[in-house]
Structure 1
Amino acid sequence: MLQRSTEILRDLIAFPTISADSNFEMILYMAGLLEEAGARCEVMSSACGTKANLFATLGPDRNGGILLSGHSDVVPVADQAWTHDPFEMIERDGLLYGRGTCDMKGFIAAALAMAPHFAKRIAERPMHFAFTYDEEVGCLGARQLADDLSARGLVPGIAIIGEPTEMRIIDGHKGCNEYSTHFNGLAGHGSLPDHGVNAVEYAVRYLNHLLGLKDALRARAPKNSPFDPPWTTVNVGALTGGVAHNVIAPSAQVDWEMRPVQTGDAEFVKESLQTYCETVLLPKMKEVHPGAMITTEVIGEVVGLMPTEDNEARRIVSELTGANSCDVVAFGTEAGLFQALGTDVVVCGPGSIEQAHKADEFLALEQLSQCLTMLERLGARLG
C-alpha cells in the first residue's frame, strides 16, 4: 500500500494547484480513482467556475459516517530557493520532496490508495471523502462544501482532517480572520496638509486603536484556555500607501489578522473598530473631503476548532493510532467548519507543519506509512 500511495502522491504533486490557479484537473483525477473504487462522486464547481470541491461516498446513502478531508491547493513557489522542480516529486534518503507533499497531498494520496480497501469492508456506516479548493486563502472551498452539506442535511458523524501533525491527534486550534482595510482620502501638496486628507495618517490612527485592543483581549482570555498564548491575538501584516514624499497620501491599505479563541472576541474587535471609524476617523476625514471612505475587505474568516469533552473522532483515532493524548496547535485548518455542522472532528495527518510552505518541502516515508496504518485499522472497523 505504501508503494501505491507514493505513486498517487507523485501524480498529485505534478498538478500545480497553487491557490491562484485552477484545481480542476487534480479534482477529476481524484474522482476517477474514487469511482474505480466504487464511490459516488460529486464535483462541485466554485462560483467563478475555475475551481471545484470533490465530495465522494462509499457505502449507504445515509446521514452520519466517517469523513476523510483534505485541501487540494498549495502555496506558491515563487521566490523560493528550490533545488529541483517543485512539481516533480523526488525521493531521497526516505524523504519525498515536492510542493504539497506534507501540506497536504500526502494524506490525500493515502486516503485515495485506501479507497478500494474501504469499499470491500463498508457495512452500515458510509465513508466520505472531501477534497476542497482554496484552503490556503481563507478555506473558501470548505465553506462552500459545508453550506452544501448543511443544505442537504448531511452531517458526517466524525471527520479526520489530514493536515500535517506528525500523526499527533489535534482537537483544537484558534480561528484565523484576515482583513484588508482601505483608506481613501484626498491628495494635495505636502506643504498644505489641511487642504487634503492623508490616508496614511488615518491608517496609522486606525492601527493604534487596533493595537490598543491587545490588553482588552488578553483580559478576555477564557479560564483554562489550552492555547498558547491563551488569548485572542492581533497582528499587522502590512501598511502601504502614498505616492511621494511631498504629496498628501490619497490612499492607504492595512493588512491585518486576528486569531480568536472564542467567537465573541472577533465581534468585540470588529465592533470596536467600526465604532472608532464612524465616530472619530470618518467625521474628521469628511470635514475636508465628503467622499473620504474607510472600507474593510474580508479576506477570510476561518472558524476555530474548539476542544470538547465528548469527541467520538478523538476516541476512535486514539484507538487507531495508540496515542493516549491530544493537543492544540497555532495554525488554522478547515476543521472548525465541519465541527459547526455538528460533526466530531480531529486533525491528524502525516508530515510536519515545520516543512509546510517552505522550499524543498518534504514528507518522510515513515510518516506516510504511519498514516496508512491508521487508515488500514480504520478500514478494519468498517465492517
Structure 2
Amino acid sequence: MSRSRELLASLISFDTTSRESNLKLIEFVTDYLTQFKVPYELIFNDEKSKANLFATLGPSDCQGIVLSGHTDVVPVDGQHWSTDPFQLTEKEGRLYGRGTADMKGYIACVLAAVPGFLAAPLRMPIHIALSYDEEIGCLGVRSLINELEKRTPKPQLCLIGEPTTLQPVVGHKGKLSMRCDVHGAACHSAYAPEGVNAIEYAADLITQLGRIARDLRDARLCDARFDPPFSTVQTGIVHGGEAINIVPADCYFDYEIRALPTQDPREINQQLEQYAEQRLLPNMRAVNAASSINFSELSSYPGLLTDTRSVAAQLIAQICQSDDFTTVAFGTEGGLYDAIGIPTLICGPGSIEQAHKPDEYISIQQLADCDRMLEHLTLTLRA
C-alpha cells in the first residue's frame, strides 16, 4: 500500500492534461522499470511530444495479459479545488488529486505490483500498456494497437483499469462525434427570402436528429444491460450568424452518437446525411446553387461487449473474485483492443462519480483493494 501511494503521489505531480506532453511521466515510469530491468518500448506521436509505453514482464513467447491505462487527465480550468490538484492530499481516508480515480490510481497499483510479478515467476507474460490522449477520443492508443496487431502471439486478454470500484465490466457503448457545416447565402434580413438561412437549415437538421433519437428508443432496439438501454444522439455545440439583420450564410453544429455495441453509429449518422441530401439541399440550391451541407468526423471509438462465458471473462472473474459482470455508460479504449482480437474487460479502483470533477479522489481502501486484486493476478499466473 505504501508503494502504491508513493507512486500515485509521483504520478499526480505530473500535469498530463491532454493538451500537455506526457513525456515527463513516461520518463518517470521508464526509470522505475529500468530499476527492475523490465524491457519496454515507446511509441511516439509524430511531434515526439507524447508517447505510449509497452512493457513486458515474464516470458515473451506465449500469450499474456495486458494491464492498460491512459496517462492523460482532463483539465482543471474553471474548477474550484480545495486542494492542489497536482499534489496528492489525504483527508478522511481519501486521496485527492487530478487523476487519482481516472486513472493514475490504477497505474500506481500496477507499477507497485512489478516486484511481485517478477518474483512470482510468471508462466505467461504481463504487459503494461500506457497510452496518451484517451480523454480526447482514444486517439493515442491507436498507434500502440497497430503495433500489437502485427505481433504473434497476441495477448490473451486486456484489463483496462478505468474506475469501476473494482467491479468487472464487459461492455460499453461506442461513440461517434460529428460536425455538420451548413453553408447558405447571406443577404439583408429585409429580403430574407432571397438568402439561404444557414441557421434555420441547421435547426431543421438538429430537429431531425431528435426524431432519429426517438426512433432509437424502440423496444426492439434496446438492450437492458445498458443504461440507458438504447443508443443516444445529442447536439452539444451550435455556432452561426453575424448580426440580427443579416441572413446567416454559415452555421455549424457538433453532435455525438453513443451507440449500443450491436449498432453501427455510422449507419445512424447516415440517416441524417440522407435527410440533408434528399430533403434540404434541393430547397437550398433552388435559391442559391452554391449552398452546401458537409459532415466531418471529429472522433470515434468502438463499443465493447465481451461474452461473460468467455475464457477472458472467467479469468478476470477469478482475479477480481467476482463474476458480477456489468456495463458502463462511459467509453474506453477497450473496443479498440477487442477489434484486433484481444478480448477486453474493464476493472479498476475508484468511482467514475469522482472522475473529471473538482476535488477528484480515490479512497485509500480502493487503492488497497486494487493491490490485492493484482496479488490474485500474480498467484493466478504463477509458474
Q: What CA distance in whole angstroms lies between the structure 2 residues aligned with 1:9 and 1:289?
A: 60
Is this contact kept in 2: 1:217–1:265, CA < 8 A?
no
2:325 aligned residue: 326
Structure 1 pair 222/309, CA: closer, same or farther in 2 (3 Å)? farther
> What are the within-5 Å matches in structure 2 for residues 154-233 of structure 1?
155-219=154-218, 221-222=220-221, 225-233=224-232
Gap regions ≥5 residues in structure 1: none
Is this contact kept in 1: 2:174–2:265, CA < 8 A?
no
2:307 aligned residue: 308
In structure 2, give the amino acid aligned to 1:183. V
- Could you list the per-position Cα deviations for residues 310-365 of structure 1 after superposition, in whole angstroms to 9, with x for gaps in the alignment? 33332223223322311111111111111112222211111010000000000101
In structure 2, give the amino acid aligned to 1:316. L
1:7 aligned residue: 6
> What are the within-5 Å matches in structure 2 for residues 137-152 of structure 1?
137-152=136-151
Is this contact kept in 1: 2:222–2:230, CA < 8 A?
no
Is this contact kept in 1: 2:170–2:308, CA < 8 A?
no
1:68 aligned residue: 67
> What are the within-5 Å matches in structure 2 for residues 249-328 of structure 1?
249-262=248-261, 264-328=263-327
Alpha-carbon offset, residue 380 of structure 1: 2.0
- Could you list the per-position Cα deviations for residues 238-294 of structure 1 after superposition, in whole angstroms to 9, with x for gaps in the alignment? 222112211111221212111111354413312212212222222333333343332
Paired residue secondary structure (2:203): helix
Aligned length: 382
Alpha-carbon offset, residue 222 of structure 1: 4.4
Q: TM-score, normalised by structure 2?
A: 0.94
In structure 2, give the amino acid aligned to 1:59. G
Structure 1 pair 283/63, CA: closer, same or farther in 2 (3 Å)? farther
Alpha-carbon offset, residue 66 of structure 1: 0.6
Alpha-carbon offset, residue 59 of structure 1: 2.0
Q: What CA distance in whole angstroms lies between the structure 2 residues aligned with 1:111 and 1:61?
A: 19
Q: What CA distance in whole angstroms lies between the structure 1 residues aligned with 2:270 and 2:222?
A: 23
Is this contact kept in 2: 1:183–1:252, CA < 8 A?
yes
- Could you list the per-position Cα deviations for residues 73-126 of structure 1 after superposition, in whole angstroms to 9, with x for gaps in the alignment? 111111111112211111112111000000000000110111121122243311
In structure 2, give the amino acid aligned to 1:85. D
Q: What CA distance in whole angstroms lies between the structure 2 residues aligned with 1:73 and 1:64?
A: 28
Q: What CA distance in whole angstroms lies between the structure 1 residues aligned with 2:128 and 2:272?
A: 40
The alignment-based identity, stated in percent, is 41
Q: TM-score, normalised by structure 1?
A: 0.94
Q: What CA distance in whole angstroms lies between the structure 1 residues aligned with 2:220 and 2:17?
A: 36
Moved more, 363-372 or 186-195: 186-195
In structure 2, give the amino acid aligned to 1:28. E
Q: What CA distance in whole angstroms lies between the structure 2 residues aligned with 1:99 and 1:221?
A: 41
Alpha-carbon offset, residue 221 of structure 1: 4.4
Question: Is 2:354 the partner of 1:359?
Answer: no
Alpha-carbon offset, residue 171 of structure 1: 0.9
Is this contact kept in 2: 1:137–1:299, CA < 8 A?
no
Is this contact kept in 2: 1:311–1:345, CA < 8 A?
no
2:49 aligned residue: 50
In structure 1, give the amino acid aligned to 2:277. E
- Could you list the per-position Cα deviations for residues 162-219 of structure 1 after superposition, in whole angstroms to 9, with x for gaps in the alignment? 0011111111111122222222222221112223222111111111111111233223
